[in-house]
Amino acid sequence: MREFLVEITTTVPQGTGQEEVDRRRAAEAVRARELAETGRLARLWRPVGELRSIGVWRAADEEELHEKVLATLPLRPWMTLTVTPLESHPNDPGRYDGTK
Protein backbone atom coordinates (compact mmCIF):
# COMPACT_ATOMS: atom_id res chain seq x y z
CA MET A 1 0.00 0.00 0.00
CA ARG A 2 1.09 3.55 -0.68
CA GLU A 3 1.13 6.26 1.96
CA PHE A 4 -0.52 9.66 1.66
CA LEU A 5 -0.29 12.76 3.80
CA VAL A 6 -3.84 14.04 4.18
CA GLU A 7 -4.68 17.45 5.61
CA ILE A 8 -8.31 17.68 6.71
CA THR A 9 -10.29 20.77 7.61
CA THR A 10 -13.81 20.09 8.81
CA THR A 11 -16.39 22.87 8.65
CA VAL A 12 -19.81 22.22 10.13
CA PRO A 13 -22.50 23.69 7.88
CA GLN A 14 -24.28 26.66 9.36
CA GLY A 15 -27.60 25.70 10.92
CA THR A 16 -26.56 22.12 11.73
CA GLY A 17 -27.92 21.04 15.11
CA GLN A 18 -25.54 20.06 17.90
CA GLU A 19 -27.14 16.61 18.09
CA GLU A 20 -26.22 15.94 14.45
CA VAL A 21 -22.68 17.21 15.02
CA ASP A 22 -22.26 15.00 18.10
CA ARG A 23 -23.69 11.96 16.26
CA ARG A 24 -21.31 12.38 13.33
CA ARG A 25 -18.28 13.00 15.55
CA ALA A 26 -19.00 9.84 17.56
CA ALA A 27 -19.40 7.84 14.33
CA GLU A 28 -16.18 9.40 13.01
CA ALA A 29 -14.25 8.17 16.07
CA VAL A 30 -15.56 4.64 15.54
CA ARG A 31 -14.70 4.69 11.83
CA ALA A 32 -11.20 6.07 12.50
CA ARG A 33 -10.54 3.17 14.90
CA GLU A 34 -11.75 0.69 12.27
CA LEU A 35 -9.51 2.23 9.61
CA ALA A 36 -6.55 2.17 12.00
CA GLU A 37 -7.17 -1.51 12.78
CA THR A 38 -7.07 -2.34 9.06
CA GLY A 39 -3.90 -0.31 8.51
CA ARG A 40 -5.58 2.40 6.42
CA LEU A 41 -5.03 5.13 9.01
CA ALA A 42 -1.43 5.03 10.23
CA ARG A 43 -1.10 8.28 12.21
CA LEU A 44 -3.24 11.32 12.97
CA TRP A 45 -2.31 14.66 14.52
CA ARG A 46 -4.02 17.96 15.27
CA PRO A 47 -1.81 21.05 15.02
CA VAL A 48 -1.78 22.98 18.29
CA GLY A 49 -4.45 25.68 18.32
CA GLU A 50 -6.00 24.60 15.02
CA LEU A 51 -9.21 22.83 14.09
CA ARG A 52 -7.73 20.61 11.40
CA SER A 53 -6.05 17.24 11.24
CA ILE A 54 -2.96 15.92 9.51
CA GLY A 55 -2.62 12.21 9.00
CA VAL A 56 -0.78 9.45 7.23
CA TRP A 57 -3.26 7.24 5.39
CA ARG A 58 -2.69 4.11 3.28
CA ALA A 59 -4.32 2.82 0.12
CA ALA A 60 -3.37 1.09 -3.11
CA ASP A 61 -3.60 4.38 -4.98
CA GLU A 62 -5.14 7.84 -4.67
CA GLU A 63 -8.41 6.76 -6.27
CA GLU A 64 -8.87 4.01 -3.68
CA LEU A 65 -7.90 6.44 -0.92
CA HIS A 66 -10.68 8.82 -1.92
CA GLU A 67 -13.36 6.28 -2.86
CA LYS A 68 -12.89 3.46 -0.35
CA VAL A 69 -11.23 5.11 2.61
CA LEU A 70 -11.89 8.83 3.00
CA ALA A 71 -15.39 8.63 1.50
CA THR A 72 -16.37 6.27 4.34
CA LEU A 73 -15.79 8.92 7.00
CA PRO A 74 -19.06 10.22 8.51
CA LEU A 75 -17.72 13.80 8.50
CA ARG A 76 -16.50 13.59 4.88
CA PRO A 77 -19.32 15.77 3.47
CA TRP A 78 -18.07 18.58 5.73
CA MET A 79 -14.36 18.09 4.96
CA THR A 80 -11.91 19.87 2.73
CA LEU A 81 -8.95 17.64 1.90
CA THR A 82 -5.42 18.14 0.65
CA VAL A 83 -3.80 14.85 -0.35
CA THR A 84 -0.08 14.47 -0.96
CA PRO A 85 1.28 11.10 -2.15
CA LEU A 86 4.40 10.06 -0.21
CA GLU A 87 7.37 7.86 -0.99
CA SER A 88 10.08 6.66 1.33
CA HIS A 89 13.20 8.74 1.80
CA PRO A 90 16.58 7.00 1.88
CA ASN A 91 17.50 8.82 5.12
CA ASP A 92 14.24 8.10 6.95
CA PRO A 93 15.22 6.76 10.39
CA GLY A 94 11.89 4.93 10.58
CA ARG A 95 12.25 2.91 7.38
CA TYR A 96 10.74 -0.47 8.05
CA ASP A 97 12.36 -2.48 5.24
CA GLY A 98 15.94 -2.06 6.45
CA THR A 99 17.31 -1.27 2.99
CA LYS A 100 19.69 1.55 2.20
Rounded to 5 degrees, φ, ψ at 31 are -65, -40
A 10 A CB-CB count for 31 gives 17
CB-based contacts of 59, cutoff 8 Å, min separation 6: 1, 2, 4, 40, 65, 68, 69
What is the chain's pLDDT, residue by residue, as a tens digit (100 residues)?
999 999 999 999 999 999 999 999 999 999 999 999 999 999 999 999 888 999 999 999 999 999 999 999 999 999 999 999 999 888 888 776 555 4
What was the pLDDT predicted at 100? 46
